[in-house]
Amino acid sequence: MSLDVAQLRADTPGCEEIIHLNNAGAALSPRSVTNAVTDHLRLESQLGGYEAAEAAADKLMHTRSSIAQLLCVDAADIALTHSDTSAWTKAFWGLALAGWFSSGGTVLVDSGVYNSHYFALLQAQQLFNLKIELMQLNEDGSLNLEDLDSRLDPSTKMVTATHVGTHKGAVSDVAQIGARTRTLGIPFFLDACQSAGQLPLTLSGIQCDVATGTGRKFLRGPRGTGWLFVREEWAERMQPPGIDGSSATWTSLSSFELLPRAERFQEFEYPIAAQIGLGVAVSYALELGIEAIATRISGLSANLRTGLQQAGAKIHDGPGPQSGIVSFTLPNVDCDYLAGQLKLAGINVSVTRAAWTRFDMDERGLEAAVRASPHVYNTEAEIDYLVNHVAASLNCEWS
C-alpha cells in the first residue's frame, strides 16, 4: 500500500511552517489530533472537568483499545501514562514493592538502555544489592546469544532491552531475548519508545512481559502521554507505587485491594484531552497501515544516510536492520553548531548525547551526534535540502 504524501502533508499543518526531521523527539501531529484535544478542553470549559471526563469515557477506552491493536495485545493489559519513563518506572517499582528484588540478584541491560530507565536500576542497586550487568554484542552488533544464555540463571531477576535506541537507527532483534526469558520465568522489559508508530510491533511474538512507549514520537500524539503494557501474569504480581482510587479499592481502614491487570497502574489525574488525542493519533496510524508507514520511513532514511555519507558525514547508526533514526557527525564541526545552523535554514533536527545512553556512546567514543528522523509526511526534496545544507557546512557556505 502506497501512501498519499500530499494528503499526509495537508493533514499536517506544521508541514507549511518547517522541515521537521525531529520525529524521534516529537513529531508533528495531524490536524485531527489537535482538534480532538482542543474539543475536549472546550468541553471541560463548558461542562466541568469531571463531567467532561464522564462524557469522554468511550473515547478514553478507544485510546486503550487502539494502542492494544497497535501492539497486538488485549486492551485490559494497557494502561495510559504520562510518558515512557512514568510507565517504565511504575512497572519496575511495582516489581520492587512486591519484593521481587529483596534477595538481590542480577539485572541484565543492553547497551542502548535509556538514562531514565537506568536511573531506576541504580536506585534499586543501592536499596537491594542488585548487580547490573551488560549483555554483550557480537562484532556485527547483534546480541551475543551464547553470552546471554550463560547469564540467564536463577540469580537473574530481570532483563531490559531497547528495540530502537534513542541515539542510533539499528533495530535490535529483541525477540531472541523473549524466547529465552519466557521459558525461564524471568521478566523481560521492552523499551518500545522509538519503535512504536514506525515499525510493526507484535508483543506476543517478542514475548516481552512489560513494554513502554510515549505518544509524542512516531505515533504523532500530544506531549504528556504514554502507554504501558504489562502481561497479566506479571501485572497481578506487582505492587505499583502511587496508587489511588483509580488503581485500587480501599476495602477497610487497614486494607486495600488493587484493581486487576493493567488497571492497577492507572491514575486518577492525567491529561484526558491529551490521551484522547493519543487515541486519535494511533487510529490515524492504523488507518494508514504500520507496514506502509515503515516502508515510507525506511525509504526516506535510506536516502538520507546515502546522501549524508556522500556529503562527508559519518553515520553512527550501527550495523543491521535500520529504523528511521539517522545519527551522524561531521569532521571538525560541533554538533550543536550544526543543528543550530540547520534550524536557521528551517530544518528541525536534534542532538543526541552520551548522557542519554552512556553505555553505547561511551564505548564508541561519542559525546554527541546530530539526529535526523524523517516521518511519512516528509518528502524526498526535504531530505535533499538537509543533505545540501550539511554539505555546505563543510565549506562554511550556508545560505
The distance of Cα 106 from the centroid of its chain, to the nearest Å, equals 25
Listed residue (4, 335, 60) closest to 327, CA to CA: 335
pTM: 0.96
Listed residue (153, 170, 199, 96) closest to 161, CA to CA: 170
SS3 13: helix
> Do 379 and 371 form a contact (C-beta atoms < 8 A)?
no
pLDDT, position 139:
85
pLDDT digit string, tens, across residues 153-180: 999 999 999 999 999 999 999 999 999 9
User: Is residue 4 within a helix (H) or strand (E), and if so which, with residue range?
Assistant: none
pLDDT, position 396:
65
For the domain covering 5-30+290-394, report its CATH number.
3.90.1150.10
SS3 353: strand
**Count of alpha carbons within 13 angstroms of residue 370, beta-carbon side:** 29
Task: Map out the domains of the chain as residue ranges.
Answer: 5-30+290-394, 32-286
For the CA atoms of 66, 71, 72, 75, the dihedral, rounded to the nearest 10 degrees, stands at: -50
Report the C-alpha gap between 3 and 117 in whole angstroms. Answer: 35
For the domain covering 32-286, report its CATH number.
3.40.640.10
**Count of alpha carbons within 13 angstroms of residue 251, beta-carbon side:** 7
**Counting Cβ atoms within 10 Å, is residue 255 exposed (0-12), middle (13-18) or buried (19+)?**
exposed
Which residues, in sequence order, are CB contacts of 253 under 8 Å at separation 6+?
none
Give the cell for residue 249. 479499592
Could you list the pLDDT tens digit for every one of the 399 residues in the chain? 689 999 999 999 999 999 999 999 999 999 999 999 999 999 999 999 999 999 999 999 999 999 999 999 999 999 999 999 999 999 999 999 999 999 999 999 999 999 999 999 999 999 998 999 999 999 888 899 999 999 999 999 999 999 999 999 999 999 999 999 999 999 999 999 999 999 999 999 999 999 999 999 999 999 999 999 999 999 999 999 999 999 999 999 999 999 999 999 999 999 999 999 999 999 999 999 999 999 999 999 999 999 999 999 999 999 999 999 999 999 999 999 999 999 999 999 999 999 999 999 999 999 999 999 999 999 999 999 999 999 998 776 544
105 - beta bridge partners? Answer: 130
pLDDT, position 2:
84
Same CATH fold assignment for domains 5-30+290-394 and 32-286 = no
Q: From residue 174, how far is each of 38, 75, 206, 218, 281 by CA, in Å?
A: 38, 22, 7, 19, 26
